[in-house]
Chain A
Amino acid sequence: MKIMVDIKKRLWSGRRVFRLEVAFASDKDFVVLFGPSGVGKSLTLQTIAGLTTPDEGRIVVGERTLFDSSRKIRVPARHRNVGYVFQDYALFPHLTVAQNVSFGLKQGWPWYLPRGERLRLDEALEIFELTPLKYSLPRDLSGGQRQRVALARALIRRPSLLLLDEPFSSLDALLRVKMRQELLKLKERFTIPVILITHDPQDVAALAETVVVYEHGRVSKIISPPKHDYPVRERPSLSSWAANLCA
Chain B
Amino acid sequence: MWTGIVNFAVDLTPLWLTLKVAGVATLVTFIVGVSLAFLVARSRFWGREGLDALCTLPLVLPPTVLGYYLIVLIGRNGWLGRWLQETWGISLIFTWQGAVLAAAVVSLPLIFKSAPAAFEEVNLELENAARTLGLSETAVFFRVSLPLAWRGILAGGMLAFARAMGEFGATLMVAGNLPGKTQTLSLAVYDAVQAGNDARATVLVIIISTVCLTILVVSGKAFKAGYM
User: Inter-chain contact count A-B, CB under 8 Å?
Assistant: 60
Stretch in B63-71, B83-91, B126-134 with 4+ CB within 8 Å of A: B126-134
CB distance from B138 to the nearest CB of A (A): 11
Decide if B130 touches A83 in the complex (CB within 8 Å): no
Within 8 A of A (CB), among B87-142: 123, 125-126, 128-136
CB distance from B19 to the nearest CB of A (A): 29
The residue on B at minimum CB distance from A150 is B129
Of the candidates B125, B133, B135, B143, which one forms a contact with A153 in the assembled complex, judged by CB atoms under 8 Å apart? Answer: B133
Known: A90-B123, A92-B126. A51 touches B131 (CB 8 A): yes
A79–B137 Cα gap in the complex (Å)?
Answer: 12
Decide if B147 touches A94 in the complex (CB within 8 Å): yes
| B227 interface residue per 8 A CB criterion | yes
Of the candidates A49, A50, A93, which one forms a contact with B148 in the assembled complex, judged by CB atoms under 8 Å apart? Answer: A93
Decide if B227 touches A78 in the complex (CB within 8 Å): no
Within 8 A of B (CB), among A88-107: 88, 90, 92-94, 103-104
**Which chain A residues lie closer than 8 Å to B136 at the CB level?**
78
A222–B128 Cα gap in the complex (Å)?
Answer: 29
CB distance from A106 to the nearest CB of B (A): 9
Q: Which of B130, B132, B144 has the most CB of A within 10 A?
A: B132
Which bucket holds chain A's interface residue count?
A: 20 to 34
| B217 interface residue per 8 A CB criterion | no
Decide if A139 touches B227 in the complex (CB within 8 Å): yes
Within 8 A of B (CB), among A53-81: 76-81
| B228 interface residue per 8 A CB criterion | yes
A77–B123 Cα gap in the complex (Å)?
Answer: 18
**Which chain A residues lie closer than 8 Å to B143 at the CB level?**
103
**Which chain B residues lie closer than 8 Å to A30 at the CB level?**
none
Decide if A78 touches B135 in the complex (CB within 8 Å): yes
Decide if B147 touches A51 in the complex (CB within 8 Å): no
Q: Which of B123, B133, B144, B227 has the most CB of A within 10 A?
A: B133
| A128 interface residue per 8 A CB criterion | no
The residue on A at minimum CB distance from B150 is A94
The residue on A at minimum CB distance from B136 is A78
**Which chain A residues lie closer than 8 Å to B123 at the CB level?**
90
| A18 interface residue per 8 A CB criterion | no
A77–B133 Cα gap in the complex (Å)?
Answer: 8
A139–B227 Cα gap in the complex (Å)?
Answer: 8
Decide if B228 touches A84 in the complex (CB within 8 Å): no
CB distance from A195 to the nearest CB of B (A): 13
Decide if A93 touches B132 in the complex (CB within 8 Å): no
Decide if A94 touches B132 in the complex (CB within 8 Å): no
Known: A90-B125, A90-B126, A139-B227. A103 touches B133 (CB 8 A): yes
Other contacts beyond A81-B134, A94-B148: 14, CB < 8 A = A49-B128, A50-B132, A76-B131, A77-B128, A78-B133, A79-B134, A84-B128, A90-B126, A90-B128, A92-B126, A92-B129, A103-B143, A154-B133, A157-B134
User: Mind listing 6 A-B residue pairs with CB under 8 Å?
Assistant: A49-B128, A51-B132, A92-B144, A94-B147, A103-B133, A153-B133
* Residue ranges of B at the interface with A (Cβ–Cβ < 8 Å): 123, 125-126, 128-136, 143-144, 147-148, 227-228
State the 7 A-B residue pairs at the shortest beta-carbon distance, nearest first.
A104-B133, A90-B129, A77-B131, A84-B132, A93-B227, A90-B125, A78-B134
